[in-house]
Amino acid sequence: MTDQTRFLLSEADIPREWYNINADSPVPPAPVLHPQTREPVTPDFLSVIFPMEIILQEVSTERFIPIPDEVREIYKLWRPTPLIRAHRLEKALGTPAHIYYKNEGVSPVGSHKPNTAVAQAFYNKAAGVKALTTETGAGQWGSALSMACNFFDLDLEVYMVKVSYQQKPYRRMLMETFGAQVFASPTDRTQFGRSILAENPDSPGSLGIAISEAVEMAATSNGRKKYSLGSVLNHVLTHQTVIGEEALKQMDMAGEYPDVVIGCVGGGSNFAGIAYPFLRQNLREGQRTRLVAVEPQAAPSLTRGVYTFDYGDTAKMAPIVKMHTLGHDFVPPPIHAGGLRYHGMAPSLCALYDAGYLEAVAVPQKETFAAAVQFARTEGIIPAPESAHAIRAAIDEALDAREKGEKRVILFNLSGHGNFDMMAYQAYFSGQLENYTIPQEKLEQSLKDLPQVAVPG
Ligand SMILES: *Cc1c(COP(=O)(O)O)cnc(C)c1O
């Protein structure tokens, strides 16, 4: 045991392979269905919006997928990321627990998202694609993909939820600095956007609407443009496993092994990124680490959603997948963790949660910001409101260990910094934040319109 604070790897330690949970998951995910036919999708359908290499990764059962040299070269700009022992937070909590965090906020755009953005831009470029389309809510995914497309000389159209476009001008300018075109969604550029505007010219937009617009633009471009998604799908989760692979080595440097690994979940990618390599150790090496996914009480897909087939987007254009869902029409309350407001969750993660290999907790917004502030004041980093959910759960674990007089080793993923989220902090300090619990009737309402499918669930 040391009193060391930072556990640092060198460039040579950047993983050479991503880890694919499909190889080891005892619960294979259900088939992906076509949104219109509701039959299993063919690669033909997917190839309209994704390049073949990405589709192959989506369905691959290889345990390890080599990381191309071109991608590793770019990873060197910020990877390996530091593992940090939160000595000062431990002290403030008076806990015998040891708290470690992996800091993905050190990437150039401030979150874990470039881990997959760079890979996706690479595979699209290699396939001869000229431009990508995507959606963004708060702007973190759009920022990551803007940087990646700029490195690979690809054009990028970002459909940004209108209310965020207006409220978060800095994220938009960041994307524009990298050369992306950013549109406030709903736009008049797509049929779906025009249909929304005809009904409601003042629509504030939603992630589901923006996804539909970005998919439509790619699907109607005759192969010139492809679509890129920042979470939920298996290839995205796979790309994020560089986080957990590095963390395994770094925990080893610290001479400890985590009893619990924690991450926040929006679509599930940063949590899977840190947790799946540790899950492999559970499944194959007999380790017994608890893996805890943390979601907001305002969008509780795992803890209160139904495990069933649902559309990935509001317009019912994206594939239907089996997941814990709040319903594709679910409009979450306006919490400040924009990245955690999705109605569904990654199918592989849902299958594992349903079968008991993962745990989930839902935390309220105000207590989450209290944890964020305690973390900022002890560790010196302003966390993203999304990441603060993982911090809340890590602090609760540490307090529980104190109560029980247990030495517990806690590892959480700090998925991003919150330097662009100061309005959210201001709202917290001025007492404007609310806790939201979704009334059961509202949940039942949004679950009324689930697709009827013929395949066995
Ligand atoms: C996008 C985002 C999330 C949520 O997405 P996941 O796919 O669940 O990881 C969490 N934290 C940050 C900082 C994000 O940018």
What integer pLDDT is reported at residue 334 of this predicted model?
A: 78
What pLDDT shows up at residue 59?
92
For position 42, what pLDDT does the model report? 86
* Angle, alpha carbons 344-350-355 (nearest 5°): 155
**CA 339–ligand 1 middle distance (angstroms):** 5
Expressed in angstroms and rounded, the spacing between residue 112 Cα and the centre of ligand 1 is: 7
Q: Which residues contact 440 (CB under 8 A, 6 or more apart)?
A: none
Residue 95's closest CA among 85, 105, 104? 85
- For residue 454, the model assigns a pLDDT of 77
For residue 281, give the nearest of 24, 7, 17 by alpha carbon. 24
Which residues sit opposite 413 in a β-bridge? Answer: 102
Contact 393, 292 (CB under 8 A): yes
List of domains in the chain: 6-14+67-110+235-446 (3.40.50.1100)
With residue 226 as reference, give the H or E element that holds it: strand 225-227
- The pLDDT value recorded for residue 331 is 81
Cα-based angle 270, 272, 276 (whole degrees, multiple of 5): 140
Cα–Cα distance between 319 and 203 in angstroms, integer?
24
Atom of ligand 1 nearest to the CA of 231: 7
Residues 6+ apart with CB under 8 A from 431: none
Residue numbers of the chain with a pLDDT score lower than 50: none
Distance 276 CA to ligand 1 centre (A): 16
CA distances from 365 to 8, 119, 304, 362, 395 (A): 33, 33, 17, 10, 15
How far, in whole angstroms, is CA 122 from its chain's centroid? 20
Taking the CA of residue 105 as reference, the ligand 1 atom at the shortest distance is: 13
pLDDT in the model for residue 132: 98
Name the token pair of 429.
């300090």
CB 160 within 8 A of CB 172: yes
386, 414, 420, 421, best to mutate for ligand 1 pocket (most atoms within 8 Å of CB): 386
